[in-house]
Amino acid sequence: MGLSLTTAGESHGPGLTCIVEGLPAGLELDQARIDSDLARRQLGHGRGGRMKIESDSAQVTAGVRHGRTLGSPVALQVQNRDYANWEQRMNPWPVQEQIEEVHLPRPGHADLVGVHKYGLTDVRNVLERASARETAARVAGGAVCKALLRAVGVEIRSHVTQIAGVRAPARALALALEDFDDVDGSPVRCLDGAATEAMVAEIDALRKANESLGGVFEVQVFGLTPGLGSHVSWLERLDGRLAMALCSIQAVKGVTIGEAFDIAGRPGSEAHDEIFYSNERGYYRETNRSGGLEGGMTTGQPLIVCGAMKPLPTLTQPLRSVDIETLAPAQALRERTDSCTVPAAGVVAEAMVAFVLADAYRQKFGGDHIDDMVGAVRAYEQRIQWRR
What pLDDT is attached to residue 188?
97
Q: pLDDT category, 54, cuts 50, 70, 90?
A: low
Sign of CA dihedral 347, 352, 354, 357: negative
What pLDDT is attached to residue 46?
81
What pLDDT is attached to residue 68?
98
What pLDDT is attached to residue 218?
98
Q: 352, exposed or middle or buried, with CB in 10 Å at 0-12, 13-18, 19+?
A: buried
By DSSP bridging, strand 15-21 and strand 4-9 are antiparallel
13 pLDDT above the threshold of 60 = yes
Q: pLDDT category, 49, cuts 50, 70, 90?
A: low
Classify domain 4-383 by CATH number: 3.60.150.10
Q: pLDDT category, 52, cuts 50, 70, 90?
A: low
Q: 47, exposed or middle or buried, with CB in 10 Å at 0-12, 13-18, 19+?
A: middle
Mean of all residue pLDDT scores within the chain: 95
Amino acid at 195: A
Q: DSSP label at 346?
A: H
What pLDDT is attached to residue 139?
98
What pLDDT is attached to residue 50?
58
334 pLDDT above the threshold of 70 = yes
DSSP calls for 124-179: HHHHHHHSGGGHHHHHHHHHHHHHHHHHTT-EEEEEEEEETTEEPPPPSS---GGG
* pLDDT tens sequence across 348-383: 999 999 999 999 999 999 999 999 999 999 999 999
Average pLDDT over residues 73-97: 95
What pLDDT is attached to residue 70?
98
What pLDDT is attached to residue 256?
97
pLDDT above 70: percentage of residues in the chain: 98
48 pLDDT above the threshold of 80 = no
Average pLDDT over residues 59-77: 98
Q: pLDDT category, 298, cuts 50, 70, 90?
A: very high
What pLDDT is attached to residue 73?
98
What pLDDT is attached to residue 260?
95
51 pLDDT above the threshold of 60 = no
DSSP calls for 178-225: GGGTTGGGSTT--S-HHHHHHHHHHHHHHHHTT--B-EEEEEEEESPP
Say how many CA atoms lie within 13 Å of 223 toward its Cβ.
Answer: 17
112 pLDDT above the threshold of 70 = yes
117 pLDDT above the threshold of 90 = yes
What pLDDT is attached to residue 55?
81
Q: pLDDT category, 312, cuts 50, 70, 90?
A: very high
Give the integer Cα–Cα distance in Å for 360 and 373.
12
Measured from the Cβ of residue 366, the count of other Cβ atoms closer than 10 Å reads 13
* pLDDT tens sequence across 25-41: 999 999 999 999 999 99
Q: What is the pTM of this model?
A: 0.96
What pLDDT is attached to residue 80?
95
* pLDDT tens sequence across 135-191: 999 999 999 999 999 999 999 999 999 999 999 999 888 999 999 999 999 999 999
Domain layout of the chain by residue ranges:
4-383
388 pLDDT above the threshold of 70 = yes
* pLDDT tens sequence across 191-247: 999 999 999 999 999 999 999 999 999 999 999 999 999 999 999 999 999 999 999
Q: Which of 366, 379, 216 is nearest to 305 (CA)?
A: 216
What pLDDT is attached to residue 155?
98
Q: pLDDT category, 47, cuts 50, 70, 90?
A: confident
pLDDT above 90: percentage of residues in the chain: 93
Amino acid at 21: E
* pLDDT tens sequence across 249-286: 999 999 999 999 999 999 999 999 999 999 999 999 99
Q: Which of 107, 9, 22 is nearest to 58 (CA)?
A: 9
Region class of 135: left (phi > 0), else alpha (psi between -120 and 50), else beta: alpha
